[in-house]
Structure 1
Amino acid sequence: MQKRLSTVHKFTMSGTSQATAAFGAQTYKVRVATHDQPAYIRIGDGTPTAVDTDSLFPLGWSECFDVTPGQKLAVLQAGTAGILTVTELT
């Protein structure tokens, strides 16, 4: 299956959960990357809220996750403010 880079969601993480817009109709996979701080992430329907008991995504890491069109990803800083990107793959 060919993957193309599509919409990019960029966050400056904070102590409050933030969520992406709904993933596009052709998005079945996303690439998540932390740039300078670890983060807690949650993928779900509606508007998910990331909390400090969710999956910890390490500093300087990138990984692809399967998603369903219309889902969203929420992020919460695990250290101090840092950058996290979510790239939709179509």
Structure 2
Amino acid sequence: MSELILEASLDAKDLFDAFAAEHRDQAEVETSSGQDGGTLLNLVIENAPLLSASISLLIGALRGRGIKVKASKNGVEIDIGAAAKPE
């Protein structure tokens, strides 16, 4: 199974919570500590390829709000391209 983790600031809470509620069996929100000691949100998505369209919409919504997001797949950080970089 393919696990994708999206990591963002607390500004992403409502979007992450909505995504997890919509995909209850495949996604959950967790918190972690950032390098600066601040709190980060992690959206853990199981079997991510099945949800790729929804994940793309989520990344677009995060970008629209100017929220930076990092992604890792199966423990390895991945480049999610320009969608993750606010203008």
* TM-score, normalised by the number of residues in structure 1: 0.32
* Structure with the higher strand share, 1 or 2: 1
* TM-score, normalised by the number of residues in structure 2: 0.32
* Structure with the higher helix share, 1 or 2: 2
